[in-house]
Amino acid sequence: MATSFKTSRTWLQKYFSEELPSGEVLADTLTFHVVEVDGVENKGDDQILDTQILPDRAGYLLSHRGIASEVAAALNIPMSSDPLRTPVPEFPTTDKLTVDVDTSYVLRHLGAIMRGVRVGPSPEWLKSALESVGQRSINNIVDATNYVMLNIGQPMHAFDLAKISNDAGTTRITIRRAAAGEAVTVLTGETYTLTVDMFVIADALSGQALDIAGLKGGAASGITEATTDLFVSVGTYDGTTIRKMSQALKLWTDASQRYQNKISPELGAYGMRDILSLIKDVAGADVEGVVDVYPTPPMPISVSVSLSRVNGILGTSYVSDDMTNALNRLSLPFEASTISSGELVVTITPPFERGDIRIPEDVADEVGRILGYENVLPLELPAVAGTPDQRAYCGIERIKDFLVSRGFTEISTQSFAPEGEILLANPLQADRPALRAGLRENMQDALARAVQQAPLVLGPDSMLKLFELGTVFPASGEHLSLVLGYKGLIGKESKTVLEEVVDALLEAFPACGLARPETIDTNVCELSLKDVNLESLGEGYLPAKLALSEYHPFSIYPFALRDVAVWTPEGTEESEVSLAIAGAAGDLLARMDRFDRFEKDGRISYAFRLVFQSSERTLSDADIDPVMQAVTDALNAKEDWEVR
C-alpha cells in the first residue's frame, strides 16, 4: 500500500540554512514522527532515503518539499523558505491558447505557452539531482518538469507546440473522454488502446489525442532538439478515475501515483509558477501567457478540538503549550481560544496540501507524533465487570482436546480447492479456483503424505490419526466442519476406528447439535458443526494449555529404516541398549524406537527400529551400512550381548 519515494538528503538540504543531520538520523527521525524509511543508500556525497509514503499523506509527502516540512517539524528547525507558503504571482494571460475540459475528470488545468526555448542537456545540478533519486536525465525541458514534480509534488507535461495544430496562431486544446479504441503511442514507444472510461489531452483542431491525460505524454508531440515553443500542461485530475485507468492499462507512473492520492488542485498554480521559472532558467524561454481553467475551487475546511479531547485520545497529560508548540512546529495555522472551563480549544485551518487533517482524531495524531509516541506511556485497561465470553471458542477447543486425547493430531490445510461450490474470479493458482466445500479431499491428501512420513514422525505406532477443524464454503453458506482421518500402518486396517471415535464424540457431547454423519468410511469421516451449539459446549470449559519447544526443522531428504535386535543379559535396561546404539550410530540417526522386547532363558531380547536421515542429501546403503556395522560391533562388544 505504501509508495516508495526516493528522498535525497542533498535536495532536502536546499530547504534549510542549518546543516541537516546524517541520512541515518533523518531516517530515524522520519520513521518515528511521520513515515517509515526503509533504508538509506550512500550515493557519492549524497544519501538517499527510501521513504514509504502511505495514502493518507501521499497528497503532500510524495515530494522533497513535503518531506522537508516534516523534517522541520520533527527536528524543530525552520525551513529557510517554503515554496507552498510563497504566494503565486498573477500569470500573464494569452489569447493564443484555449483549453476546454471535461469537468467530470479535470479538477483544474493550467496551460501555458512558452516561446524560444533552447532544448539541450540539463545543467549539472539538475542532472545530478534527478540522477540521485534514480531518474534518467533526458533534456533540460523534460528534466525541469520532473524536477518540479519531485520537488513539490505536482505532475506536469511539456508538449512541442509546433506539433499541435493552430488556428491563425491560436492553439486549441481539449481534455476529453477517449473514443472507444482510440490509440495513443506514448513517449516510451508503447501504444495503448483506450476505452471511453479514459481521458486524453487532445488537439481540438485536428481531433488528435496528444497524450493520456494524467498518465503519460504522447510520442507525437514530444520534445526534440528542434523544439522551440512549448505548450506546458499542469493538470489536476480525478484520482479515482486515474487509478482505474492505470489498472486497466497496467500503466503506473510518477504522475498517476500522485493524482490517485488526490493532490490538491491548489497545488497546480505553484507547479505552473515553478515550471515557468525553471524552464526560463535552464532553457531560456519566455512565457507568452497562462490559461487557468478551475471549475470549482475546494472550500478550505477547519477542525476544532480541545486539549482534553487530544489528551483523551492519546492518554497523555499534555498542557496547552505542548499542543500549540506541536501545531507551530507543523506550521499548521490555528486560532486558540479558551472555553469557560479555562481549557484550550484550537481551530485549525489546514493548508491546502494537508487534505489529511479533517477530524479531531487527525489533530491528535499530529500532536501525538510530533511530540513523540514514545511519550505515550503504557496504561493498564480499567477493570470490567463479569467474565469475558469465550464460550464458542472454548467449545471448539473442547472438541480438539477430546480428539487429541484419543490420539488424533491436528493439521491445518488451505482453503482453496480444485473443486467447490463458490468459485473465485481471480484465483492465485489456476488449479485451485474454488473455496473448499468440505475437508475430505485435503485430509485424504494429508493422510497419504503422512503415511510416507509415519516411521519418522510417529515411530512404529500402529495407526495414523489426524483431524482438521475449519471453515467450509458450500453454496448454502459457510460453516465449521470437522474431518477425521485414519490409516493403519501395521497389519490390516480396522474398519471401526473412526466409527468408535464418532460414537465417543456423540456420547461425550450429547444434545449439543452434533449429528452422526450418514456414512463413516474406514479412512475419512467428515462431521458438520453447522448446528452445533458451541457456546453451550464451551460453557465452563478450560482448554488445555501447552508449552511448545523451539521448532525442529525437518529434512527434505528421504529417510531410510534399519532394524536391529540384540540379546542382553538378565536385568539389562532398555536405556542401556538405546544409549549404546545412539553412541555408535552418530549424526545420521534421526530417531529410534523399540518395537519389541521379550525374555527367554534368562536373557532379554530388545529390537529397535532405526530411522536414518541427512539434512543435506539422500542417504544410500554406502552411507548406512558402515553405520549399522558400527552399531552391531558396539553392541557385540558388550559382555554377553549378542546381535541377533
Partner 1 sequence: MTQGRLHPLSVAIRDIADIFGRMGFGIAMGPELEDEWYNFTALNMLPDHPARDMQDTFWTKEQPARVPRTQTSNVQIRYMEEQIKKGIAPPYRIVVPGKVFRNEATDMTHEAQFFQCEGLAVGPIGTITLAHLKGTIEAFCKEYFGENARVRFRPSYFPFVEPGVEVDVWFEAPGKESRWLEVMGAGMVHPQVLKNAGVDPEQYQGFAFGGGLERLVMVKYNVPDVRLFYSGDTRFVYGFDETPK
Question: Least separation, in Å, of the C-beta of 82 and partner 1?
Answer: 22
The set of residues, in sequence order, having a beta carbon less than 8 Å from that of 579 and lying 6+ positions away, is none
The set of residues, in sequence order, having a beta carbon less than 8 Å from that of 207 and lying 6+ positions away, is none
Question: Least separation, in Å, of the C-beta of 548 and partner 1?
Answer: 4
> Is-contact 116 241, C-beta < 8 A?
no
Query: Which position among 390, 494, 528, 572 is part of the footprint of partner 1 (CB under 8 A)?
Result: 390
What span, in angstroms and rounded, lies between the C-alpha atoms of 107 and 420? 47
Verify binding: residue 540, partner 1, rule CB under 8 A. Answer: no
Query: Hey, CA dihedral for 103, 104, 109, 115, is it positive or negative?
Result: negative
Query: Which position among 168, 381, 430, 622 is part of the footprint of partner 1 (CB under 8 A)?
Result: 381
Helix H or strand E encompassing 48: strand 46-53
Question: Least separation, in Å, of the C-beta of 182 and partner 1?
Answer: 24
What span, in angstroms and rounded, lies between the C-alpha atoms of 385 and 489? 53
What span, in angstroms and rounded, lies between the C-alpha atoms of 62 and 74? 17
Question: Least separation, in Å, of the C-beta of 453 and partner 1?
Answer: 5
Query: Which position among 181, 546, 575, 620 is part of the footprint of partner 1 (CB under 8 A)?
Result: 546
Burial class (CB in 10 A: 0-12, 13-18, 19+), 90: exposed
Reduce the secondary structure of 367-381 to three states and give it as a string. Answer: HHHHHCHHHCCCCCC
Question: Least separation, in Å, of the C-beta of 618 and partner 1?
Answer: 16
Q: Which stretch binds partner 1 (CB under 8 A): 15-23, 270-278, 295-303, 441-449?
A: 441-449
- In the bound state with partner 1, the residue whose beta carbon lies nearer, of 289 and 470, is 470
Verify binding: residue 365, partner 1, rule CB under 8 A. Answer: yes
Question: Least separation, in Å, of the C-beta of 516 and partner 1?
Answer: 22
Query: Which position among 428, 430, 511, 622 is part of the footprint of partner 1 (CB under 8 A)?
Result: 428
Query: Which position among 32, 294, 567, 595 is part of the footprint of partner 1 (CB under 8 A)?
Result: 32
The set of residues, in sequence order, having a beta carbon less than 8 Å from that of 264 and lying 6+ positions away, is 59, 236, 298, 352, 353, 355
- In the bound state with partner 1, the residue whose beta carbon lies nearer, of 229 and 397, is 397
Question: Least separation, in Å, of the C-beta of 231 and partner 1?
Answer: 30
Question: Least separation, in Å, of the C-beta of 370 and partner 1?
Answer: 10
Q: Which stretch binds partner 1 (CB under 8 A): 78-86, 364-372, 582-590, 627-635?
A: 364-372
Query: Within 477-533, where are the H helices?
Result: 497-508
Query: Which position among 77, 179, 336, 456 is part of the footprint of partner 1 (CB under 8 A)?
Result: 456
Query: Which position among 92, 120, 284, 315 is part of the footprint of partner 1 (CB under 8 A)?
Result: 315
Residue type, 602: G
Question: Least separation, in Å, of the C-beta of 237 and partner 1?
Answer: 13
- In the bound state with partner 1, the residue whose beta carbon lies nearer, of 232 and 370, is 370
Identify residues 459-498 at the interface with partner 1 (CB under 8 A): 461, 464-468, 470-471, 473, 478
The set of residues, in sequence order, having a beta carbon less than 8 Å from that of 303 and lying 6+ positions away, is 347, 348, 350, 357, 358, 359, 360, 362, 363
Verify binding: residue 541, partner 1, rule CB under 8 A. Answer: no
Beta bridge partners of 183: 193
> Is-contact 67 51, C-beta < 8 A?
yes
Question: Least separation, in Å, of the C-beta of 494 and partner 1?
Answer: 14
491 backbone φψ class: left, alpha, beta (φ>0; ψ -120 to 50): left
- In the bound state with partner 1, the residue whose beta carbon lies nearer, of 191 and 317, is 317
Residue type, 76: N
Query: Hey, CA dihedral for 500, 503, 508, 513, is it positive or negative?
Result: positive
Residue type, 524: V
Question: Least separation, in Å, of the C-beta of 398 and partner 1?
Answer: 12
The set of residues, in sequence order, having a beta carbon less than 8 Å from that of 308 and lying 6+ positions away, is 343
Query: Which position among 548, 571, 600, 617 is part of the footprint of partner 1 (CB under 8 A)?
Result: 548
Q: Which stretch binds partner 1 (CB under 8 A): 12-20, 86-94, 158-166, 411-419?
A: 411-419
**Radius of gyration from C-alpha coordinates of the chain:** 37
Verify binding: residue 425, partner 1, rule CB under 8 A. Answer: yes
What span, in angstroms and rounded, lies between the C-alpha atoms of 109 and 265? 8
Query: Which position among 255, 279, 399, 446 is part of the footprint of partner 1 (CB under 8 A)?
Result: 446
Query: Which position among 46, 229, 288, 397 is part of the footprint of partner 1 (CB under 8 A)?
Result: 397
Question: Least separation, in Å, of the C-beta of 289 and partner 1?
Answer: 36
Identify residues 493-532 at the interface with partner 1 (CB under 8 A): none
Query: Which position among 7, 316, 523, 568 is part of the footprint of partner 1 (CB under 8 A)?
Result: 316
Helix axes 497-508, 391-405, angle to 10 degrees: 140
Question: Helix, strand, or coil here: 328?
Answer: helix
Helix H or strand E encompassing 622: helix 621-636
Query: Which position among 549, 575, 616, 620 is part of the footprint of partner 1 (CB under 8 A)?
Result: 549
- In the bound state with partner 1, the residue whose beta carbon lies nearer, of 226 and 381, is 381
Residue type, 155: P
> Is-contact 23 47, C-beta < 8 A?
yes
Q: How far apart are the first and last CA of the chain?
A: 67
Verify binding: residue 430, partner 1, rule CB under 8 A. Answer: no
Identify residues 186-245 at the interface with partner 1 (CB under 8 A): 239-240, 243
Query: Which position among 361, 499, 623, 642 is part of the footprint of partner 1 (CB under 8 A)?
Result: 361
> Is-contact 84 65, C-beta < 8 A?
yes
Residue identified by cell 479412512 is 523
Identify residues 1-30 at the interface with partner 1 (CB under 8 A): 1
Q: Which stretch binds partner 1 (CB under 8 A): 163-171, 444-452, 601-609, 636-644?
A: 444-452
Phi, psi of 389 (to 5 degrees): -85, 105
Q: Which stretch binds partner 1 (CB under 8 A): 97-105, 323-331, 380-388, 574-582?
A: 380-388
479-488 and 463-472 as β-strands: parallel, antiparallel, unpaired?
antiparallel
Verify binding: residue 412, partner 1, rule CB under 8 A. Answer: yes
Q: Which stretch binds partner 1 (CB under 8 A): 116-124, 221-229, 331-339, 550-558?
A: 550-558
Question: Least separation, in Å, of the C-beta of 15 and partner 1?
Answer: 21
The set of residues, in sequence order, having a beta carbon less than 8 Å from that of 243 and lying 6+ positions away, is 256, 260
Identify residues 234-263 at the interface with partner 1 (CB under 8 A): 239-240, 243, 247, 260
Verify binding: residue 602, partner 1, rule CB under 8 A. Answer: no
> Is-contact 584 633, C-beta < 8 A?
yes
Question: Least separation, in Å, of the C-beta of 386 and partner 1?
Answer: 8
Query: Which position among 21, 50, 54, 614 is part of the footprint of partner 1 (CB under 8 A)?
Result: 54
Question: Least separation, in Å, of the C-beta of 582 and partner 1?
Answer: 18
Of 103, 109, 264, the closest CA to residue 173 belongs to 109
What span, in angstroms and rounded, lies between the C-alpha atoms of 544 and 405? 10
Query: What cell does 213 get?
Result: 491525460
Question: Least separation, in Å, of the C-beta of 382 and partner 1?
Answer: 6
